[in-house]
Amino acid sequence: MWRRSGARALLLLRSSIHRPLPPPPSPLRALTRAPPPPRPLSRFLSSSPEPLPDAGGGAASASSDPTDAGEDGLASDPTEAGEDNLASLWEEDAGDADDVFAADASPDPADAVVDEVLAARVGAVVESTPEDQIPSALADMVVDFNEPLLAAILVSAAESCSGKKLLLLFKSAGKNNPAAKSLANLEIVVDKIADSDEIDKMDVYLLWDLVKEMGAVPGSVNTQVLNKLLAMFWKLEKSKAALEAFDMFSELGCAPDGDSYYLAIQAAGRKSMVDAAWRVCDGMISSGCFPDGEKVGDIVMFFCKKKKVKEAHSVYITAKEKKVQAPTSALTFLVSALARNDETINTALELLEEYQGESLKDAGQSYAAVIHGLCNTNNVEDARKVLMRMVNLGPAPGSAVFNFVITALSKNGEMEDAKGLMRVMENQGICPDIYTYSVIMSGYAKGGMMDEAHALLRDAKRIHPRLSRVTYHTLIRGYCKMEEFEKALECLKEMKEDGMEPNMDEYNKLIQSLCLKALDWRTAENLLKEMEDGGLCLKGTTRSLIAAVKELEMDELSKASQEA
Q: List the domain boundaries for the chain.
A: 115-217, 222-326
Helix (H, G, I), strand (E, B) or coil at 63: coil
Q: What is the mean pLDDT of the chain?
A: 83
Using pLDDT thresholds of 50, 70 and 90, give the confidence band for residue 29: very low
Greater confidence (243 vs 60) lies with 243
Half-sphere CA count of 12, side-chain side, radius 13 A: 6
Cα–Cα dist 515/548, whole Å: 9
pLDDT at 472 over 50: yes
pTM for the whole structure: 0.73
Whether residue 298 contacts residue 262, with contact meaning beta carbons closer than 8 Å, is answered with yes
Q: Which of 154, 240, 230 is nearest to 199 (CA)?
A: 230
Using pLDDT thresholds of 50, 70 and 90, give the confidence band for residue 555: confident
Cα–Cα dist 79/75, whole Å: 9
Helices 328-339 + 364-376 axis angle, to 10: 10
pLDDT at 367 over 80: yes
According to the model, what pLDDT value does residue 43 have? 33
Using pLDDT thresholds of 50, 70 and 90, give the confidence band for residue 519: confident
pLDDT at 188 over 70: yes
Q: Which residues contact 270 (CB under 8 A, 6 or more apart)?
A: 234, 237, 239
pLDDT at 475 over 60: yes
- State mean pLDDT over 32-40: 40
Give the long-range contacts of residues 114-119, CB within 8 A, separation 24 or more.
114/148, 114/149, 114/152, 115/149, 116/152, 118/143, 118/149, 119/149, 119/152, 119/153, 119/156
In percent, the amount of the chain with pLDDT more than 90 equals: 65
pLDDT at 449 over 80: yes
- State mean pLDDT over 327-339: 97
Whether residue 251 contacts residue 265, with contact meaning beta carbons closer than 8 Å, is answered with no
According to the model, what pLDDT value does residue 336 have? 97
Integer angstrom CA distances of residue 117 from 168, 292, 496 = 21, 46, 97
pLDDT at 478 over 50: yes
According to the model, what pLDDT value does residue 563 have? 72
Output the 3-class SS for 238-272: CHHHHHHHHHCCCCCCCCCCHHHHHHHHHHHHCCC
pLDDT at 54 over 70: no
pLDDT at 1 over 60: no
pLDDT at 433 over 90: yes
Q: Which residues contact 400 (CB under 8 A, 6 or more apart)?
A: 368
According to the model, what pLDDT value does residue 111 have? 53
Helices 328-339 + 309-321 axis angle, to 10: 140
According to the model, what pLDDT value does residue 364 have? 95
